[in-house]
Amino acid sequence: MTDALVKAAIDILPKAYAPYSQFQVGAAIQDEEGRIHLGVNVENAAYPVGSCAEAGAIAAMIAAGGKQIACIAVAGRGAELCTPCGGCRQRLREFAAPDMEILVCDDKGLRKIFTLETLLPHSFGPNNLD
């Protein structure tokens, strides 16, 4: 499934709407049923009203009835790794366990794998409210 998730994130990347930054991001989430949900970043002239690719993929998962993120691939171009921003790390935590894998890609393929715990240590999540 890793290969399919990486391919989906890379394939959706060109559909991002980034006329201001020119920095396109694609995301592909695998939910608890194995379904893939896609998202892209969408910028807005009234900056910073845009939305991140990860947020779009999460919304697509929820709209399709998914409840839990099993894995996510995030694709962006450039020499630096395109990891989820701080806000998206917290968004992911709402629907994923700390050991969930984040597959960081560029437009050519997988570059690095992180766990959510690595990118968001000692996170505050739904379990804190039980």
Which one is catalytic: 32, 33, 43, 54? 54
Report which DSSP code applies to 77.
-
Sign of CA dihedral 9, 6, 94, 122: negative
**Hey, is 38 helix, strand or coil?**
strand
Q: How far apart are CA 29 and CA 19, in angstroms?
A: 24
What is the token pair recorded at 55?
């947020």
CA 36 to chain centre: 12
Using DSSP bridges, classify how beta strands 25-31 and 36-40 pair: parallel, antiparallel or unpaired. Answer: antiparallel
| C-beta neighbour count of 57 within 10 angstroms | 30
**Residue 80 known to be catalytic:** no
Catalytic center residues: 54
